[in-house]
Amino acid sequence: MDIAKANGIELAWESFGHTNGEVVLLIAGLGTQMIRWTAPFCAHLVALGYRVVRFDNRDAGYSTHLDAYPAVNFGALAAALGAGERPEVPYTLYDMAADAIGLMDALGIAQAHIVGRSMGGMIAQIMASEHASRVLSLTSIMSSTGNPALPQSAPDAMAMMVQPMPDPSSDRAGFLSRSSAFARRIAGSGYPFDEEAHRALASEELSRAYDPAGTGRQIAAVGVTGDRRARLSAVTVPTLVIHGNDDPLFLPDCGRDTAASIPEAELLLINGMGHDLPASVWHQIAGKIDSVARRAVHA
């Protein structure tokens, strides 16, 4: 792992594969770290000839945590958004997209194939709409456009996501148990849930960083960024949208809406997949990323 200065902060990053390969930049989701893009998944892309770069978003992992900001008041945030106001927040997803561009600058990467999951998919979409010359292809996984008319998350899954977690410093076992229960709920019904693998990954994330306030700032960034469909209509790079038809957080209509908002986007709905990337689909997803990347036009 290395640290790069980008967009006024520090970003932790890691690279796999040959440095002369075309770059696939992987963007993590809300409150998670780059290791959610597991080394075995990255290896599938490396085997296809790519250099794979993963990184911790701001307020996650070993990247800069913006601790100087006060904790987000979610009640006030929700009230302001419900009233059609745009509250002041530490940053937006546009800033996080600028972070990724800054990382590319720091690493001397002129263009890359951008792949994001969940919140990372939103950041990837913004990169394609606002930094088009830097993006070769776009893959948006289990994400959404910010369209307010889309169906809401399953109430029980949302309740599990927002309820306070046990403090891992005093109740690590309780934290991991609750984390596993939530991961199982959102994983979908079509693939076996690997609790042992999830617990190992969650434990590794805890050893790297634990910052619920940082996750709150990321939630605020998602909330204020709003509907991006108008900007997405101008995206011209080859685009792939991947979504599970059993996703309880971003329902399948969110994937359909993303694909419909981007000209000529390809939609891949995976039966039984939830808000998760089970190991048994890694080969398929890597192959589809490769397929859309091969349609890219280089500047």
Q: Which tokens go with 70?
A: 């006060």
Q: How far apart are the first and last CA of the chain?
A: 30
- Taking residues 253-268, what's their average pLDDT? 98
pLDDT at residue 297 is higher than 90: no
> What is the reported pLDDT for 80?
77
Predicted confidence band of residue 82 (pLDDT cuts 50, 70, 90): confident
The string of pLDDT tens digits covering residues 194-235 is 999 999 999 999 999 999 999 999 999 999 999 999 999 999
206 within 8 A of 172, measured Cβ to Cβ:
yes
> What is the reported pLDDT for 79?
81
Strand partners, 52: 16, 24
| Residue bearing tokens 């792949």 | 115
Record the pTM: 0.96
The string of pLDDT tens digits covering residues 19-74 is 889 999 999 999 999 999 999 999 999 999 999 999 999 999 999 999 999 888 87
Closest CA to 115 of 183, 179, 51: 51
Distance from chain centroid for Cα 174 = 26
169 within 8 A of 206, measured Cβ to Cβ:
no
Round to whole Å and give the CA distance between 265 and 232: 11
- What is the β-pairing status of strands 135-141 and 9-16? unpaired
Strand partners, 5: 10
pLDDT at residue 77 is higher than 70: yes
- Other CB atoms within a 10 A radius of the CB of residue 205 amount to 20
Strand partners, 238: none
**What sign does the CA torsion over 186, 187, 193, 197 have?**
negative
Q: Which long-range contacts (CB under 8 A, 24 or more apart) does 229-234 make?
A: 229/145, 229/146, 229/147, 229/257, 229/261, 231/126, 231/129, 231/130, 232/125, 232/128, 232/129, 232/145, 232/258, 232/261, 232/262, 233/261, 233/262, 233/263, 234/129
Indicate the range of 160-169, 213-222, 273-282 predicted with least confidence.
160-169
Indicate the range of 17-21, 61-65, 125-129, 132-136 predicted with least confidence.
17-21
Round to whole Å and give the CA distance between 294 and 178: 41
